[in-house]
Amino acid sequence: MIADLLLAVSGVSKHFLGLRAVDDVSLSVRKGEIVSIIGPNGAGKTTFFNLLTGQLVPTSGEVRLRGERINQLAPHDRARLGMGRTFQIAKPLIALNALENVMIGAFMRHRALGTARDKAMAVLEKVGLAHHARVRAGDLTLSERRRLEVARALALEPEIVLLDEVMAGLNQSEVGQAIELLQGLHAEGLTFLIIEHNLKVVRAFSDRVVVLDRGRLIAEGTADQILSSPEVVKAYLGDGHQAAELGNL
Ligand SMILES: Nc1ncnc2c1ncn2[C@@H]1O[C@H](COP(=O)(O)OP(=O)(O)OP(=O)(O)O)[C@@H](O)[C@H]1O
Ligand SMILES: [Mg+2]
C-alpha cells in the first residue's frame, strides 16, 4: 500500500438500469495531491463523485478513505471522516445568510453556537466572503455563491475536498481568483479531487489528470501527457482533430 494513500477507489461501477454511468473505475489519491477528472458531458464524472461522497451507493466496487471501507456509509458519516464537496448545482439555503449557511457545516465539528459561529466566520474570511456574512445566499453573485459552496465544504474541516465544476460560468478574472484561493488551501495541506471543464485550470492546478469517457477511465497522467493523448482528443472532439485544438477549450 502507498504510505500516504488517502483515497482508494477500486473497481467501482454504478448502473442505472441498462446504463453503465460509471464502469469499473479505480483511482488512488495521495495526501496533498491535486487530481483532476475531465471528460465529455455525460461521461460519469458527477456520478463518480456521488459514489465517493455517499449520495449514491456503488453497484459494485469499493471506496476506502485512509484504509477504511466507506462505500456503505451515509454522506454525513463520510463528511465526518474527512470528505468535503461542492455540488455542480449549488444547493445553498437561499433564505439563510452566508454565515448561517457555513455554520450548518461547522456544527458537525462544534456543538456550541459561539464556537460554530467563530469557525464559520473564519472560513468566510478565508474564502473572501467575510464582508458578505449577513447577506442572504440568494442575493450573492454567481462567483460569490461558488465561494460559499467552497466555504460550506471547508466548514466540515475536511482532509480532501471534491469540487464539481466550481469554475463554470465564472469570468477570467474570477477564475484567476478562484485558482489563487484553491492554491492557498492546497498550501495549507488540503487534498483536492476536482471535476473541471476549463482545461487552462486543469493545466494550472493539477498534479495528475484522469479522463472518464462513457463511464470508463480511459487515461491517466500529467496534464501535458493527457492533453496530448490522441485517445483523449478523440473522446473530446471526435475523429480527425489534433491535440493542439484542446488548448482552445
Ligand atoms: N440518477 C440517475 N438516473 C439515471 N441516469 C443517471 C442518473 N444520474 C446520472 N445519470 C446518467 O449517467 C450518465 C453520467 O452522468 P453524470 O452526471 O455523472 O455525467 P458528467 O460527466 O458529470 O456530465 P457533465 O459534464 O454534463 O456534468 C449520464 O448519461 C446521465 O444521464
Ligand atoms: Mg457533472
What ranges do the domains of the chain cover?
Answer: 1-82+159-249, 89-157
C-alpha–C-alpha distance, residues 117 and 190, integer Å: 22
C-alpha–C-alpha distance, residues 6 and 159, integer Å: 9
CA 126 to chain centre: 18
Closest ligand to residue 43's CA = 1
Closest ligand to residue 87's CA = 2
Ligand 1 binding pocket includes 105 (Cβ within 6 Å): no
Q: How far is CA 191 from CA 85, 188, 212, 233, 239, in A?
A: 12, 9, 20, 28, 35
Quick one: 180 exposed, middle or buried, by C-beta within 10 A (0-12, 13-18, 19+)? exposed
Q: What is the pLDDT of residue 185?
A: 95
- Using alpha carbons only, give the angle 32, 166, 220 rounded to the nearest 5 degrees: 50
The fold for domain 1-82+159-249 equals Rossmann fold (3.40.50)
Three-state SS string over 44-67 comes to CHHHHHHHHHCCCCCCEEEEEECC
Check: CB of residue 78 under 8 Å from CB of residue 49.
no
pLDDT digits (tens, 9 = 90+) for 109-168: 999 999 999 999 999 999 999 999 999 999 999 999 999 999 999 999 999 999 999 999
Check: CB of residue 30 under 8 Å from CB of residue 208.
no
Residue 20 CA to ligand 1 centre (angstroms): 10
Quick one: 19 exposed, middle or buried, by C-beta within 10 A (0-12, 13-18, 19+)? middle
C-alpha–C-alpha distance, residues 61 and 96, integer Å: 38
* Cell numbers 445568510: residue: 97
Look at ligand 1, atom 27, and give the residue with the nearest C-alpha: 41
Ligand 1 binding pocket includes 88 (Cβ within 6 Å): yes
Query: Taking the model in full, what pTM does it have?
Result: 0.93
C-beta atoms surrounding 207 within 10 Å: 15
Q: Per-residue pLDDT for the chain (249 aa), expressed as one digit of tens each?
A: 566 999 999 999 999 998 999 999 999 999 999 999 999 999 999 999 999 999 999 999 999 999 999 989 999 999 999 999 988 877 768 889 999 999 999 999 999 999 999 999 999 999 999 999 999 999 999 999 999 999 999 999 999 999 999 999 999 999 999 999 999 999 999 999 999 988 888 998 899 999 999 999 999 999 989 988 887 877 776 666 666 666 555
* DSSP assigned state of 209: E
Residue 14 CA to ligand 1 centre (angstroms): 10
Ligand 1 binding pocket includes 152 (Cβ within 6 Å): no
Look at ligand 1, atom 26, and give the residue with the nearest C-alpha: 41
C-alpha–C-alpha distance, residues 71 and 13, integer Å: 12
Q: What is the pLDDT of residue 112?
A: 94
The overall longest dimension of the chain from CA atoms, in Å, is: 60
Q: What is the pLDDT of residue 242?
A: 63
